[in-house]
């Protein structure tokens, strides 16, 4: 049956006897098989080796098809459940789904639906069976992705206050290269929002003709008009996710241009812009992502309280400016320069007594500077008021639930080491944003995991920079349907939590994980190899609390990028699975001392599908 079906589809193409590489590709497409051009080209060239013409006959095509499609590991599995028959009966398929894929809910109906969806041969479909061709198509489909199907849509409770979520956040979103001389580009905002990013940063400066501009101040990065940025945000804010977008303003504009900014925000964003509280004017807790669906929030300095701002709403505030005091040694969103100064200014002290329960030592007395804020812009700040961070004690005593802090990575790393318990207590109450140190001029990133471990909501990264850190970011936010909000574990939401990353205590929920690395398929060939023969190996890495961090690697398989077969098993014990990410990284062993990156996939440990 399979043979007749196969010949019926392909024989027309061979009427003139032979076909070339391009026709071979088209025929594989017609057979609805996922294939990689480079690998097919390589197998094709091997087939015509030493021939005069660059064409293959019908038998050659069948051989190429088998090489690409009929994978031995699939065939072995098929034979086990079909009891060496050529077809799987619906009952056998059901057996496979329950035993191998752990689909305990599967019933005869599920098996029939799969046969209808993946079996290409009509005759076999009618008999309620699945051929090996259908089995291969099922095993190569999204349905067999390692990522749990129920985590591909929003499945978490979205009615908690905003501070209970990890929020996908970008740093200096307008930059698409380095931090000093590279271009600023609207594409930075488009691509971040399309990846589900929910907090973007806008550095605003006075421009000519009373038009505010966006760029990295005091550098040679190019400038883009503020209104163009807002138009792009208006267009792309809710393409990837319905949940709220926060515009984090680093505002260096004069009061006159701040008013221009306020006008653009109101006129371009219209109803999307949140300009008043939801329900009660008295704010005792932050609203939820569900409450704020399709809303854009402004994160900026604010004059006075939300209630005072709401009373002014509707009154003419044009030209009204208020001066507020700020410090130029403790950073806020207004100016991310903190990390260029030493962390502990008094370098003369060589010994320092450490009290692990307290915040780090006091810094120099801050010089106070006056910041002028236009009331029109201030009143657009509702639930996300930027407040300079003094200390955990100060926040606990004085900070309101709608006030948030930005902390530079070096200072935040110090808090993780010295005062993790206080840090977690802080992040259970207030949205906390972490940003890269100023010396990362090449737009490199820090490891976000250590800040997620203490519950920081907005761990802002340079989205334009590929690498491990962004792979962890992308992997973490695949969760919950890629909506940009991931509910923090209970021990990072509970105000009286005793959890710290170094001392998991009662909050541990140990889990045994066993991963069998079976095979690879059509891996990207090495760029350093003239043939497509990579020597692949796989790293399996866990990122999470310090005691869960571990890396294991497979053996190296020589000269096989098409279908390497490992059959190796790896075992892990994870103490805090709720915070763990698992990363599979495939490399080509170029020499004994160096490997070339071929590809990777990172996902939350609890989003791993069994089977």
Known catalytic residue at 539: no
Show the CA angle centred on residue 354, arms to residues 353 and 360, nearest 5°: 110
Q: Where are the beta strands (DSSP E) in 544-606?
A: 550-553, 565-574, 581-589, 595-604
CB-based burial, 92-101: b 16+ in 10 Å, e otherwise: bbbbbbbeee
CA distance 417 to 406: 18
In this structure, what DSSP letter does residue 49 have?
A: T
In this structure, what DSSP letter does residue 480 have?
A: G
CA distance 609 to 197: 25
Locate 603 and state its tokens.
């996902």
Q: Which of 39, 160, 171, 227 is catalytic?
A: 171
Locate 84 and state its tokens.
């060496």
- Specify the residue for token string 């020597």: 535
Please give the distance of CA 523 from its chain centroid, rounded to a whole number.
Answer: 23
- Overall size of the chain counted in residues: 611
For 96, phi then psi, to 5°, come to: -60, -45
Contacts of 453 (CB under 8 A, 6+ apart): 416, 501, 544, 545, 579
CA distance 342 to 340: 7
- Specify the residue for token string 């000519």: 208
Q: Which of 216, 252, 318, 539 is catalytic?
A: 216
CA distance 496 to 491: 9
CB-based burial, 250-273: b 16+ in 10 Å, e otherwise: bbbbebebbbbbbebbeebbeebb
Contacts of 236 (CB under 8 A, 6+ apart): 189, 190, 193, 194
Q: What is the 3-state secondary structure (H, E, C) of 210-242?
A: HCCEECCCCCCCCCEEHHHHHHHHHHHCCCCCC
For 44, phi then psi, to 5°, come to: -60, -45
Locate 91 and state its tokens.
């009952």
- Specify the residue for token string 């066993």: 514
CB atoms within 10 A of CB 505: 10
- Look at residue 413 and give its three-state secondary structure: helix
**Contact 136/69 with Cβ under 8 angstroms?**
yes
Please give the distance of CA 553 from its chain centroid, rounded to a whole number.
Answer: 24
| DSSP assignments along 381-392, one per residue | --S-EE-----H
| DSSP assignments along 493-549, one per residue | T-TT----SS--GGG---EEEEEEEEE--SPPPPTT-SSS---EEEEEEEESSGGG-
CA distance 516 to 568: 6
CA distance 330 to 365: 10
> How are beta strands 581-589 and 129-131 bridged, if at all?
unpaired
Known catalytic residue at 216: yes
Residues involved in catalysis: 171, 216
């Amino acid at each position: 049956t399979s043979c007749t079906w196969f010949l019926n589809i392909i024989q027309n193409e061979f009427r003139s006897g032979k076909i070339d590489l391009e026709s071979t590709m088209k025929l594989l497409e017609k057979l609805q098989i996922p294939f990689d051009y480079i690998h097919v080209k390589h197998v094709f060239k091997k087939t015509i080796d030493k021939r005069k013409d660059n064409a293959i006959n019908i038998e050659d095509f069948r051989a190429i098809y088998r090489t690409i499609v009929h994978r031995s590991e699939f065939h072995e599995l098929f034979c086990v459940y079909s009891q060496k028959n050529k077809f799987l009966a619906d009952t056998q398929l059901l057996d496979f789904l329950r035993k191998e894929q752990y689909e305990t809910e599967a019933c005869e109906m599920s098996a029939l639906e799969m046969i209808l969806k993946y079996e290409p041969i009509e005759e076999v479909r009618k008999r309620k069976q699945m051929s090996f061709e259908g089995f291969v198509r099922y095993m190569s489909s999204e349905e067999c992705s390692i990522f749990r199907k129920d985590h591909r849509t929003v499945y978490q409770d979205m009615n908690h206050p905003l501070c209970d979520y990890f929020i996908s956040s970008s740093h200096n979103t307008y930059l698409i290269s380095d931090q000093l001389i590279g271009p600023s580009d609207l594409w930075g905002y488009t691509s971040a929002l399309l990846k589900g990013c929910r907090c973007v940063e806008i550095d605003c400066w006075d421009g000519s003709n009373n038009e505010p501009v966006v760029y990295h101040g005091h550098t040679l990065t190019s400038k883009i008009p503020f209104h163009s940025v807002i138009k792009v945000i208006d267009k792309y804010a809710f393409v990837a996710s319905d949940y709220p977008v926060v515009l984090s303003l680093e505002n260096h504009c004069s009061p006159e241009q701040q008013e221009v900014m306020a006008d653009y925000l109101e006129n371009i964003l219209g109803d999307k812009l949140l300009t008043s509280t939801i329900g009660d004017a008295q704010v005792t807790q932050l609203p939820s992502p569900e409450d704020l669906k399709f809303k854009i929030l402004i994160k900026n300095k604010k004059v006075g309280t939300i209630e005072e701002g709401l009373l002014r709403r509707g009154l003419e505030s044009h030209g009204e400016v208020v001066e507020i005091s700020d410090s130029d040694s403790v950073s806020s969103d207004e100016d991310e320069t903190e990390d260029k100064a030493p962390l502990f200014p008094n370098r003369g002290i060589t010994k320092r007594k450490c009290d692990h329960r307290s915040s780090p030592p006091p810094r120099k007395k801050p010089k106070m500077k006056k910041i002028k804020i236009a009331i029109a812009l201030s009143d657009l700040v509702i639930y996300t008021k930027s407040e300079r961070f003094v200390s955990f004690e100060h926040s606990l005593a004085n900070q309101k639930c709608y006030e948030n802090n930005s902390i530079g990575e070096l200072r935040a790393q110090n808090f993780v080491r010295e005062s993790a318990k206080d840090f977690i207590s802080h992040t259970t109450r207030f949205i906390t944003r972490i940003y890269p140190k100023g010396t990362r001029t090449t737009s490199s990133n820090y490891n976000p995991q250590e800040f997620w471990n203490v519950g920081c909501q907005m761990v802002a990264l340079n989205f334009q920079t590929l690498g491990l850190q962004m792979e962890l970011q992308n992997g973490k936010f695949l969760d919950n349907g890629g909506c940009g909000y991931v509910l923090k574990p209970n021990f990072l939401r509970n105000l009286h939590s005793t959890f710290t990353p170094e001392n998991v205590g009662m909050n541990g929920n140990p889990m045994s994980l066993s991963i069998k690395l079976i095979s690879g398929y059509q891996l990207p060939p090495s760029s350093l190899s003239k043939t497509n023969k990579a020597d692949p190996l796989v790293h399996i890495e866990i990122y999470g609390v310090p005691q869960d961090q571990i890396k294991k690697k497979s053996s190296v398989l020589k000269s096989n990028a098409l279908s390497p077969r490992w059959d190796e098993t790896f075992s892990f014990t994870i103490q805090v699975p709720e915070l763990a990410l698992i990363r599979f990284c495939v490399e080509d062993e170029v020499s004994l001392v160096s490997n070339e990156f071929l590809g990777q996939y990172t996902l939350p440990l609890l989003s791993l599908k069994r089977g």
